[in-house]
A and B are shown apart, each in its own frame.
Chain A
Amino acid sequence: MADTLLDIRGLNVRFSTPTGDVHAVKGIDLTVAKGETLAIVGESGSGKSQTMMALMGLLASNGRVEGSAKFQGEEMIGLPLGKLNRIRGAKITMIFQEPMTSLDPLYRIGKQLAEPMMRHRGLSAKAARARAIELLELVKIPDPERRVDSYPYEMSGGQRQRVMIAMALANDPELLIADEPTTALDVTIQAQILELLAELKQRIGLAIVFISHDLAIVRRFSDRVAVMRTGEVVETGAVADIFANPQHPYTQMLLAAEPTGRKAPPADNAPVLLEGRDVDVRFSMGGGFMGGKKLDIHAVDHVDIRLREGQTIGIVGESGSGKSTLGRALLRLNHGTGAIRFGADDISEASRQEMRRHRRQMQLVFQDPFGSLSPRMTAGQIVTEGLLVHEPQLTKKDRDLRAIKAFMEVGLDPATRNRYPHEFSGGQRQRIAIARAIILKPQVVVLDEPTSALDRSVQKQIVELLRDLQAKHGLSYLFISHDLAVVRALSDYIVVMKSGKIVEEGSTDQIFDAPRETYTRELMAAAFGK
């Protein structure tokens, strides 16, 4: 092909680790044509990022590359650093997943934008600065004349990612590699960044390699898709073909991985199980004994919520909206005010001692399956820990039996109960966390983003597990998430939160089909591209 920009042939990447070599990329072939957008899709560990890192000479020091990657006919693999540096940042540029850390915190963004321009195009400092201001305007940073002298820490995540994009466009590159550029951002910001990229691509006509784990994003954005799994490209094709007619079972699975189904609401006369009225939580940060500025945060601002028996309320909102804080306040795990009732009991003033009695009925599952399991206890010990408090009469053998039962219930092999958390995968750990919650036979479980840290395909399994458990044990869920697709599949009632307040609430159908508030509509648009 005459217009082939990038041609990767038989690329292998290996990492040497103390426990042996890891073959991260296994002889893959990929091409990118001029001006086209290729999406590389895969779950974590599929080697999608490492392929591009290898191309750019950015592998970690224990990584080795073999094979060929020709950019405009020039072999990139094994290119001496001096020559590579004439391509990197000039003809090929990159933006990364972590906008918070990808910019040097110690320099003004103007200087960071100017640096590659001065190096690759020999611009003077003055000219580079002028161009930097232009670029900031291009990526829609307000007041670029002033912002050019900001430090990264003075900007939000979305703004930083815009600065990264400005930097990527500075030298009119042929190819832009975008490595999960929106994953770390809130959905509404995500949508804005994607919109910006699409617009710039139209205007400038550069080729983009878009690395993502999220098929939904890829669909709107790219011309061709390459699906990667465990270091191999399992399928490539035009985006329409892949979505309409996926050939490889893995692709089919990925496409089907979006959680489906709806939950029927409980009967109208189902009793109210957990109720919070006028719940209010404030934090103060900083300050303290010897001064310093205090920063008061009103995390939850006078919120009312009622959870019925058998109901699942989805609490939706972006980071900082107070949804997690609300969940914890209802479990009396932080210092909030307001009236909280559990069943017939008013627990708003209950002491730690009095709360212990209720604890087994109200459980919590966390987002991060790595952080929520004590690393020095076995899975079995973790799962049965609550029994020590709530059923102290059990013998060690009884507890072991209960652990086996709980393991089987969440779909884990009971033979692994003496293993430690680090020996399980993310999805398995989340199952352990769920087992720990349900072993106590609770009535309410607060699920704080239980699927957010997991790959899509695993997410779906966890969603199904949660649904089964609810049906089996008649559980009520308070499901906190920013992921609307998952929320829709699990909840029958939705609460939308923004800066500590409830902006809209209603049945799932109502919220998804006919959102009233602008903010809710923005969220929907960002998530489903409507």
Chain B
Amino acid sequence: MSEMTQALNEPTVAVQGTSLWAMARHRFVRNKAAMASLVVLIVVAVFSFGGTWVYPHKYDQIFSSYVAVPPSLDPYPLEDTLHQVMQTAVERARLRLDSFNAEGTSYTARISSDKPVDPRATRYLDRPDEFDGAEIVSTLDDGKTVEVKGKINGQYFPFGTDRNGRDLLPRIMVGGQVSITVGLLATFVSLIIGVTYGAVSGYVGGRVDNVMMRFVEILYSLPFMFFVIMLVVFFGRHFVLIFAAIGAIEWLDMARIVRGQTLTLKRREFVEAAHAMGLSNWQIIRRHVIPNTIGPVVVFVTVLVPKVILLESFLSFLGLGVQEPMTSWGSLIAEGTTGMQYVPWLLIYPASFFVVTLFALNFIGDGLRDALDPKDR
């Protein structure tokens, strides 16, 4: 007894235990493939969502001078094409180009005409995307010849441009935003519907459970992909509709999983122990049921996100995705498919981002499953 009073008087220090979450986290962190995938995913997300703020070109900005130019780390325009571009510009102004000299980021040109050159003609020179800030530095020959100096507008297209002259890089960023957002939102929709439906069905049980599950079974045997396509075709390609439709068909699995979990948990002895302790239904759900369903649900969510992204891309591929000039990875891939022989980068870059992201999501899903539900123990 003295021992006990002593312990009670002492500061109540206790060894900190390792919770299942901590163990799962530990296992996940040790999984190299999953951690690498997590880094990749974060990079892709930052690239997609942050990139559009930093990158100078807009996703819908058209560079009519650079239609379908291949990817390059050197700036456009390429030097050997400049003369031709200037020639065309000068001819538009009904002038003659006598000489043209490009040096780095600036150029000098000598332009002449039969009449004195109107100084406002420099505006014509600025018109192509390639040139900027043209100004007359000297006038010769009574103004019939002028010497013009200006800047060469270096444009970088590391991923090339599409057939409308839009930079592919920001388009991939925006496509990523759309694909990832749709993936998350649709998953969220199916999560909400599925968890609620499954938990109610499982916890209430009995006849209600029977009816609810029979309903799910009927829905399972409907060709849902076709309903989605139909919805999208008939009601327009609206962003919200797309993820709502996808979410609405993907909740079935979630409902089944959660129901199964709830049913198992209901039979577990610690839930019965809680009953015997006099806890209310709500307390039992909050303290014992929900914390123990989170694991499988998290795992399922990581499986669902890539699935939804795939589905959205498939719709986009069919031309049923978001409306131009907005885009998604699926739409970009669809565009790339049609001209692979001539403009292969339009397929290669979006497809790479798409595939890498899906790979990363799959590995993270596998890692989470191994971490949360270790079978070999």
Given A390-B278, A418-B14: A405 and B214 within 8 A (CB)? no
A362 CB contacts on chain B under 8 angstroms: 276
Among A374, A397, A405, the residue within 8 A (CB) of B288 is A374
A416 and B14 alpha carbons, distance in the complex (Å): 6
| 8 Å CB interface, B237-278 against A | 268-270, 272-278
**Does chain B have a CB within 8 A of A331?**
yes
B278 x A289 contact (CB < 8 A): no
A residues less than 8 Å from B8 (CB atoms): 401, 404-405
In the complex, B230 has a CB within 8 A of chain A: no
Asked whether A229 is an interface residue with its Cβ less than 8 Å from the other chain, the reply is: no
A residues whose Cβ falls under 8 Å from a Cβ of B = 288-290, 331, 333, 352, 355-356, 359-360, 362-364, 366-368, 371-380, 385-386, 388-390, 397, 400-401, 404-405, 408, 414-420, 422-423, 433, 436, 440
Q: Counting CB contacts under 8 A, is B36 at the interface?
A: no
B164 contact set on A, CB distance < 8 A: none
CB distance B19 to A333 under 8 Å? no
The yes or no answer to B13 lying at the interface (CB within 8 A) is yes
Cα–Cα distance between A506 and B369 once the two chains are bound (Å): 54
Nearest-CB residue, chain B, relative to A416? B15
A-B contacts besides A376-B292, A414-B7, 5 pairs, CB < 8 Å: A363-B277, A367-B269, A388-B279, A389-B277, A418-B15
Which among B19, B20, B214, B279 has the greatest number of chain A C-beta atoms within 10 A? Answer: B19
B20, A422: Cβ atoms closer than 8 Å: yes
Contacting pair A404 B292 (CB below 8 A): no
Give residues in B with beta carbon < 8 Å to A: 3-4, 7-8, 12-21, 207, 210-211, 214, 268-270, 272-280, 283, 287-288, 291-292
- Do A404 and B278 have beta carbons less than 8 Å apart? no
Q: Which of A290, A385, A390, A397 interacts with B214 by CB under 8 Å?
A: A290
Q: How many A-B residue pairs have CB under 8 A?
A: 112
Check B278–A389 contact: CB distance below 8 A. yes
- Chain B facing A: main interface SS: helix
State which of B18, B210, B270, B276 has its C-beta within 8 Å of the C-beta of A420. Answer: B18
| Other-chain residue from B15, B21, B273 in contact with A364 (beta carbon distance below 8 A) | B273
A356 to B274, CA, bound (A): 11
**Contact between B278 and A360 (Cβ–Cβ < 8 Å)?**
yes
Offer 9 A-B interface pairs, CB within 8 angstroms, sorted by A. Answer: A352-B280, A375-B292, A378-B19, A401-B12, A404-B12, A415-B15, A416-B17, A417-B14, A419-B15
> Which residues of B are found within 8 Å of A397, using beta-carbon distances?
12
Residue ID in chain A nearest B210 by CB atoms: A289
Question: How near does chain A come to B214, taking the closest CB pair, in angstroms?
Answer: 6
Q: Which residues of B contact A386 (CB under 8 A)?
A: 277-278
Alpha-carbon distance between A440 and B278 when the two chains are bound, in angstroms: 11
A376 pairs with B7, CB closer than 8 A = no
A374 touches B292 (CB 8 A): yes
Of B17, B18, B274, B278, most buried by chain A (CB within 10 Å of CB) is B278
Residues of A within 8 A of B270 (CB): 371-375
Contacts A289-B211, A376-B20; A415 near B273 (Cβ below 8 A): no
> With the chains together, A371 CA to B287 CA distance in Å?
16
Ranked nearest first, the 5 interchain pairs of A and B with the lowest CB-CB distance are A359-B278, A419-B17, A289-B210, A372-B269, A364-B276
Note all chain B residues with C-beta closer than 8 A to A385: 274, 277, 279, 287
**Complex Cα distance A333/B284, Å?**
15
Complex contacts, A373 vs chain B, CB 8 Å:
270
Q: A387 — nearest CB in chain B belongs to which residue? A: B277
Known A290-B214, A368-B269, A415-B14; judge A375-B20 contact (CB<8 A).
Answer: yes
Chain A residue nearest in CB terms to B16: A418
Would you give the shortest CB distance from B231 to chain A, in whole angstroms? Answer: 30
Contact B14 A356 (CB under 8 A): no
Q: Is the pair A363, B13 in contact by a Cβ cutoff of 8 Å?
A: no
Are B273 and A366 touching (Cβ within 8 A)? yes
